[in-house]
Structure 1
Amino acid sequence: MRNYDLSPLYRATVGFDRVADMMDRVLSADSAQPSYPPYNIEKMDENTYRISIAVAGFAEDELNVELRENALIVSAKKAEETEDKTYLHRGIATRAFERRFQLADHMQVTGATHANGMLNIDLTREVPEALKPRRIEISGTKVIEGKAK
């Protein structure tokens, strides 16, 4: 396992605590990242994204999508089965899970759909007008009666 020293980052920046803490958590993860359920993150265009999660075997009411403090939390819990079934082979995993995605500032969840065993979550980056770059017009100096203003 690699150890990274992030103390120069803490010494040279102000206000980036959340980013530094997130990097520290990612780099110091002791356990292997869970691979269930499989998912894709797709960039649709400049400001829209889609997270697709394979949730075969789960009904809509067994899935939960929640946004909490810039974290998108997707979880599922299968309802209790009342029938005793005998499986010769059980390859479809329907165990409970929780998957977290850390979202950047100004990311908004615009919708979620569940179809054909896939949960699709659409996200959009909505930067406020005050933070968007704007062009400042440069005006020339005016000369009135021999004086520059």
Structure 2
Amino acid sequence: MRTAFDFSPLYRSSIGFDRIFNLLENAPQAVETWPPYDIERSDENNYRVTIAVAGFSEDDLDISHEPNLLIVSGERKKQDEVEYLHRGLPVRPFTRRFELADHMTVTGASLNNGLLTIDLVRQVPEEMKPRRITIAKQDGARKAGQVEKPKQAA
């Protein structure tokens, strides 16, 4: 499916951002709104995803982490033997996907009072972090001059 935007001019001037443009091209048109969730950032490298999953137990939920993708799904495994006059709490199966940045790892998850909390941390390897390059100074100052064209052999 194509969007109304043409990203080809941006492809020419960007290196390594192809994945971002592919995500924009393949973005789903229908937005999932259930279950509701929050994403918090406590500092530069620590994040927390909180999902409202009232009515689900730990056994009903599944969290999987793939490279650049966090998948949370839930399905009630046991049905209550109760006759409901009104059922207002949604307990339908769900799958929620979160696109993660590079080097994100899940450090923990907990379920408390109907809120599933997933902690994430970004651990960029030392060799991938930006580093400052010093410029070496030359001993003798060179004067500006005209560059001569190399002579060609006849």
TM-score > 0.5 by shorter chain: yes
2:65 pairs, out of 59, 64, 67, with 67
CA distance in 2, matches of 1:11, 1:139: 33
Paired position in structure 2 for 1:15: 16
Paired position in structure 1 for 2:75: 77
Paired position in structure 1 for 2:5: 4
CA distance in 1, matches of 2:93, 2:45: 32
Task: State the number of aligned residues.
Answer: 138
Paired position in structure 1 for 2:38: 40
Report the secondary structure of 1:122's partner residue.
strand
Offset, 1:130? 0.7
1:75-129 alpha-carbon deviations (Å, 9 max, x no partner):
001013162x221211100100000000001111111111111110001111110
Q: Identity of paired residues, percent?
A: 51
CA distance in 1, matches of 2:15, 2:45: 27
Q: Does 1:132 align with 2:129?
A: yes
Q: Which runs of 5+ in 2 are unaligned?
A: 141-154
Offset, 1:34? 1.4
CA distance in 2, matches of 1:82, 1:138: 71
Q: Does 1:97 align with 2:94?
A: yes
Paired position in structure 2 for 1:108: 105
Paired position in structure 1 for 2:48: 50
Offset, 1:74? 0.2
Structure 2 length-normalised TM: 0.79
Where do 4+ consecutive residues of structure 1 move more than 2 Å?
A: 9-17, 133-143
Q: Which runs of 5+ in 1 are unaligned?
A: 144-149
Offset, 1:138? 5.7
CA distance in 1, matches of 2:8, 2:130: 31
Structure 1 length-normalised TM: 0.82
1:11-55 alpha-carbon deviations (Å, 9 max, x no partner):
4334332221112123xx332x11110000001111100000001
